[in-house]
Structure 1
Amino acid sequence: MSAVRLTVREAAFKVFQHFGVDRLFGNPGSTELPMLKAMPFPYVMGLNEAVVVGMADGYARASGKPALVNLHSSAGTGHSLGNLFTAWKNNTPVVVTAGQQARSILPFDPFLFAERPTEFPRPYVKYAVEPARAEDVPLALARAFAIAITPPMGPVFVSIPVDDWDRECDMPALPDLTLRTMADPAGIARIASLLNEAKNPALVIGTAAANSGAWQPAIRLAEKSGLSVWAAPYAAREVFPEDHPQFAGFLPAWRDKIRNLLAPHDAIIVVGAPVFTYHVEGTGPHWPEGAQLIALSDDPQHLAALPGGGGVLGDVAAALDTLADQATPRAFGGVSHTLKTPEPAMTAAHVLKRLAELRPANAVIVEESPTARGPVHDTLPITREGGFYTCASGGLGYSLPAAVGVALGQSDKVIAVLGDGAAMYTIQGLFSAQQEQADVSFIILNNAAYAALTGFSAEFGMNHVPGCDLTGLDFVKLAEAQGLPARKVDAVDTLDDALNWSLGHKGPSLLDVRIA
């Protein structure tokens, strides 16, 4: 008796179920309509494809599961590319399917087709394919999921012609995968020897450590071996409790400043991050002369780019646990990061300090406010695992929709700390927040400018930057037009009341906070 054949759509739904998919993020187009027939899970709609991918990225990072996205041929994929690039830099497992015109009319350059679909999203996906036959679509999807969730994780792309979904196919066998790779014991022994022989070692932790679940292993290792713990430049996740006495602070993306801050240390272990991420040119050594450095990461690119020192490839969380077993006990003798208490005023620092005091205990921070990154570090400590998400790429327009995805991926209150310029990139994500009733407090730090650019202009000897004045934006009206309750805050004596209102509101709300 022959096996029962399925439609490509039915087989695809089984692939999605196998890999834990429980919703589809998308903005529907004509070449995707057959995929949406009889969907077995909810559809999360965004009004722009950048919003769609941002939500999916936040959901995948918060839930720990791969997220499924559907885009529309070339135009929709093009709209998504900024946040697809961010998903690549975030190492987020996002599986993107994109509609393609029917195979029979592809030779005639039809309306709304993708001429070279697999080339368009590259190089910022791990895998891109348009299957040669309709029957190959389910297997291509299974392979895409496997590649997306293999460390270092990242987005993948599958282009699917519109007439494939109703074709018949055989159901492929689906693998049960264990994908994390242990570091070589000899490599871990090298790191342990360096730590145990050092007088004043430091641990520098980056995003990949959080992606591997290294929060508790890092704490155990640091406390046992007396390490000073630094956040790597532009870490896009929580890396260590920022109120812990052994947390030393945040490394900037400047080579000379990194050397100066790490100067007291004779051994430096960098985990889950490049050595190092820079924002401006620099000269001289990448770390203090006389100090030894070893990097540990699940990303071979971090090690291939090492400017000297040593490297060990493997799962960060498991390696830190093993290192803690091999570490020699040592008392901590470093300097702790000091939080600041700014004077009451309508400044980012004071607003964030009050937010830190009033937030729910388990609230999750999603941040995209480049001007306020320093005040965030100084006044808003991240103290829980899974408590912080931001954009590793530096591209704006990620965190507003990502906050919606994070809220859908876990149950705690989400606080989106956004600059006014950053929020405008994907402001239509507020509509998705309202539709999904995502439990997000959107806090817009509105300084009426792209102030990060004007502040950075001194690096290039400039005293004026054109195109940075954002005067006139009214986020209360923008929010209310999309169904969200919102308030404007422009005085210190109304700040706490407004914060309490937003943080206590179940569902999405917005504060337009006018800061100096």
Structure 2
Amino acid sequence: MRAPSRCATVREAFYALMRERGSRVIFGNPGSTELPMFRGFPADMDYVLGLQEACVVGMADGYAQATGRAAFVNLHSAAGVGNAMGAIYTAFKNQTPMVIVAGQQYRALQPFDPYLFSRQVTDLPRPYVKSCIEPARAEDVPLAIARAWQTAMQHPRGPAMVSVPADDWERPCAPLPPQAAFQALRPDPAGIEALRRAIGQSERIALVVGAAVDRDGAWDQVVQLAQACQARVFAAPLSARAGFPEDHPLFQGFLPGAGAQIHERLAGSDLVLVVGAPAFTYHVPRGEAASHLPQGARLAVLTDDPEVAAMVPEGLSVLGGIRLGLDELLKDLPARHRTPPPPRGRPAPASPGTPLSTAYVLQTLAALRGPTDIVVEEAPSARPWMQQVLPMTQPASFYTMASGGLGFGMPAAVGIAYAHRDRRVIAVIGDGSSMYSIQSLWTAAQHGLPITFIVLNNGGYAAMKRHAGLLGFEAGEKIVGIDVPGIRFDQLATAQGCAAFRVTEAEALAARLEAALRSTGPSLVEVEVG
């Protein structure tokens, strides 16, 4: 007769679940309601401390994207989750899987509205988590966390949260049985055949690739598709990851989040095939255009997100895993002669300028970075120059935020470097952006992570000036609240344990960048740019 399983505590069952899911890292910032969770903290687990909850979620976001597994996050009750909400929103828009285990006051105190009590805990993080629950019984907590993990990992991926009262961790519970789940969703064969027919009937194909191509490991397949179709390839508007080698002859550049400019870039195409992205993400009003497409073009979308599939404004949408879908699509793809598009024009070399130009700084960085280096970007005003002079040529080599909310870049670089200690992470951050999560430098220093932070200091929110122009502001018109003068980022870095350099002249730029890129631990290079 088989002996009954040993009765475990909720805490023991939680750590056993983490091991079974292949994770031994918790990103967190604990409070009093979480302390029982860490009694006798296992020696085979790591707790990565962030100095503010938004930094914690940003680190977990980077780590989960780099590993492809849901990250475990520990947040304080109520106020701690509130502090993290902007970063949770970004993780939701990034489709990053994470399991947030939030503290809650003792069950016996809850009828009396105690200090640090999260009164409507399941409503607080919505609508930017896939699920949120506080189990009715302590013994149900491990199963709730296991379900949160499954929910977070199911496409479209995203954060899921479980609230755990402080006294639940000591309660006995039955161990969870082993569980296996397979997440890939195979597209409908009829939808794939419809995509094949659309390709076979088209002469001038524009292929628009989004972040899901990289998330699903489908670079090779999308390159094969582009070459088979001799398609012009564009990065989807505001894509948070690179989905195609930007030095490839078929790559034509980046679509903006503006309808009129999308029409202009895609003009002449008779089929616009969007893979792993919405059609389309807009940032400014579309204007008078009645259609989302240029005249004479049809639309087809392959996506792993049911909401994106449902919002396709016209044409054909196919729901399923990106890599599985492309594998099926490439089988028996109709052969047809097409004239390849002319290669994308290259900008003239940038000059240093006084003060240093952003293009020159990024051009210098491009010449110095290594082939396996990972770039994390949160410098919106620098993005146009980055897209011209700093091409991404490898899978899983570029990350930015899909939400538009600042504060992702610095902590995400920490999480990515924690996952990939054998690779250099280069975080290109604007001066305004960096102040949302500057505490992340401390965590990078504590763990000796191989990160080079490059802060482009232009003394303000320069992206707001450019956006004001798009909205019709007059040249020279005063815009309030965008100047951020007088911050010394090299000193902030030094105070938190990072090596730091400040560059104001072109003659020192290459040497300082090279030294930072060769360092074994974290370093920061502050560059004054115009």
Which residue is 1:354 aligned to?
A: 364
Contact between 1:234 and 1:277, CA under 8 Å: does it hold in 2? Answer: yes
> 1:2, CA displacement in angstroms?
4.0
Structure 1 range deviating more: 484-493 or 11-20: 11-20
1:60-459 alignment, distance < 5 Å: 60-282=64-286, 283-284=288-289, 285-329=291-335, 330-331=337-338, 333-340=340-347, 341-345=349-353, 346-410=356-420, 411-459=422-470
Q: Structure 2: where are the runs of 5+ without partners?
A: none
CA distance in 2, matches of 1:83, 1:339: 36
* 3-state SS, counterpart of residue 425 of structure 1: coil
Task: Tell me the alpha carbon deviations over residues 489-516 of structure 1, each in whole angstroms, 9 at most, x when there is no partner.
Answer: 0111111111101111111000010001
CA distance in 2, matches of 1:482, 1:4: 46
* 3-state SS, counterpart of residue 444 of structure 2: helix
Contact between 1:225 and 1:328, CA under 8 Å: does it hold in 2? Answer: no
* 3-state SS, counterpart of residue 268 of structure 2: coil
Which residue is 1:499 aligned to?
A: 513
Task: Tell me the alpha carbon deviations over residues 104-143 of structure 1, each in whole angstroms, 9 at most, x when there is no partner.
Answer: 1100011111001111000000010000000000000000
Which residue is 2:522 aligned to?
A: 508
Matched AA of 1:343? S
| Structure 2 residue 475 is the aligned partner of structure 1 residue 468 | no
> 1:174, CA displacement in angstroms?
3.5
> 1:369, CA displacement in angstroms?
0.3
Cα 1:15–1:441 change in 2 (3 A) is same
Contact between 1:457 and 1:464, CA under 8 Å: does it hold in 2? Answer: no
Contact between 2:156 and 2:305, CA under 8 Å: does it hold in 1? Answer: yes
CA distance in 2, matches of 1:148, 1:204: 27
CA distance in 1, matches of 2:418, 2:60: 10
Matched AA of 1:352? L
| Structure 2 residue 66 is the aligned partner of structure 1 residue 55 | no
Contact between 1:191 and 1:294, CA under 8 Å: does it hold in 2? Answer: yes
Contact between 1:215 and 1:239, CA under 8 Å: does it hold in 2? Answer: yes
Matched AA of 1:400? M
Contact between 2:425 and 2:450, CA under 8 Å: does it hold in 1? Answer: yes
| Structure 2 residue 15 is the aligned partner of structure 1 residue 13 | yes
Structure 1 range deviating more: 371-380 or 316-325: 316-325
Contact between 1:142 and 1:174, CA under 8 Å: does it hold in 2? Answer: no
Contact between 1:352 and 1:376, CA under 8 Å: does it hold in 2? Answer: yes
Q: May I ask how many residue pairs the two structures share in their alignment?
A: 516
Task: Tell me the alpha carbon deviations over residues 258-305 of structure 1, each in whole angstroms, 9 at most, x when there is no partner.
Answer: 011101210111111111000011131111121111111010111111
Contact between 1:421 and 1:470, CA under 8 Å: does it hold in 2? Answer: yes
> 1:225, CA displacement in angstroms?
2.0
> 1:331, CA displacement in angstroms?
4.8
Contact between 1:205 and 1:273, CA under 8 Å: does it hold in 2? Answer: yes
What TM-score results when the alignment is normalised by the length of structure 2? 0.96
CA distance in 1, matches of 2:225, 2:315: 21
CA distance in 2, matches of 1:385, 1:172: 36
CA distance in 2, matches of 1:38, 1:85: 33
* 3-state SS, counterpart of residue 229 of structure 1: strand
CA distance in 2, matches of 1:66, 1:348: 35
Contact between 2:269 and 2:296, CA under 8 Å: does it hold in 1? Answer: no
Matched AA of 1:251? L
CA distance in 2, matches of 1:95, 1:152: 15
Which residue is 2:30 aligned to?
A: 28
Contact between 2:100 and 2:160, CA under 8 Å: does it hold in 1? Answer: yes
CA distance in 2, matches of 1:302, 1:281: 19
Task: Tell me the alpha carbon deviations over residues 198-223 of structure 1, each in whole angstroms, 9 at most, x when there is no partner.
Answer: 11111111112211111111011111
Matched AA of 2:417? A
CA RMSD of aligned residues (A): 1.1
Contact between 1:220 and 1:321, CA under 8 Å: does it hold in 2? Answer: no
Structure 1 range deviating more: 141-150 or 343-352: 343-352
Structure 1 range deviating more: 3-12 or 322-331: 322-331
Matched AA of 1:226? Q
Task: Tell me the alpha carbon deviations over residues 32-88 of structure 1, each in whole angstroms, 9 at most, x when there is no partner.
Answer: 111112333010000000000000000000111110000000111011111100000
Contact between 2:29 and 2:49, CA under 8 Å: does it hold in 1? Answer: yes
CA distance in 1, matches of 2:344, 2:38: 51
Cα 1:117–1:332 change in 2 (3 A) is farther
